[in-house]
Amino acid sequence: MKTISTEALHQRLDAGPVALFDVRGDVDFELEHIPGAKTAPLGSLSFRVAHVMNADSFVAVYSEGGDDLAREAADRLEHLGLENVHCYDSGLKGWRDAGLSVVPSPNPRIHARGPVVESRPLIVDRETAYGGAFKGDPSDVHGAGG
């Protein structure tokens, strides 16, 4: 597996467009990513990347850094026939640690994120709800509403 350093990746990005893919989830990508990167979460990697790339195209993948997600992505792309895949092991953390900028998505989608809000159970009047479908003794497993 080929790897790429922070300096080498930075130089490639400065030279022009690079096929750089962030393999974290879409929500994390929208919060911050390396400028010029596209989102391609590991679960949809083959659909978003492999089928649109030439076998010899330069491709770099990264994740947060300090995990094996980018290595797994690079391995999957190589198994799909891409020959010039580079894993940026340092990831987003290494990019930030080098003092390089990260950016949020310009038009992020709204996602449910944060603590779970307490919800109350729906109380159903068993005699009138859903046209009487719940009529009968709730402990009667043979009748409606059992």
pLDDT in tens, 89-114: 999 999 999 999 999 987 766 655 55
Q: In this predicted structure, what is the pLDDT of residue 125? A: 60
Domains assigned to the chain: 2-97 (3.40.250.10)
Is 59:53 a contact under the CB 8 Å cutoff?
A: yes
The list of the chain residues with pLDDT below 70 reads 51, 108-146
Which of 20, 40, 26 lies closest to 109 in space, CA to CA?
Answer: 26
Unique residue bearing structure tokens 């491709």: 59
Reported pTM: 0.72
Compute the CA torsion angle 88, 91, 94, 96 (nearest 10 deg): 130
- Between the alpha carbon of residue 99 and those of residues 15, 63, 124, the distances in Å are 19, 17, 57
- Using only the alpha carbons of the chain, give its radius of gyration: 24
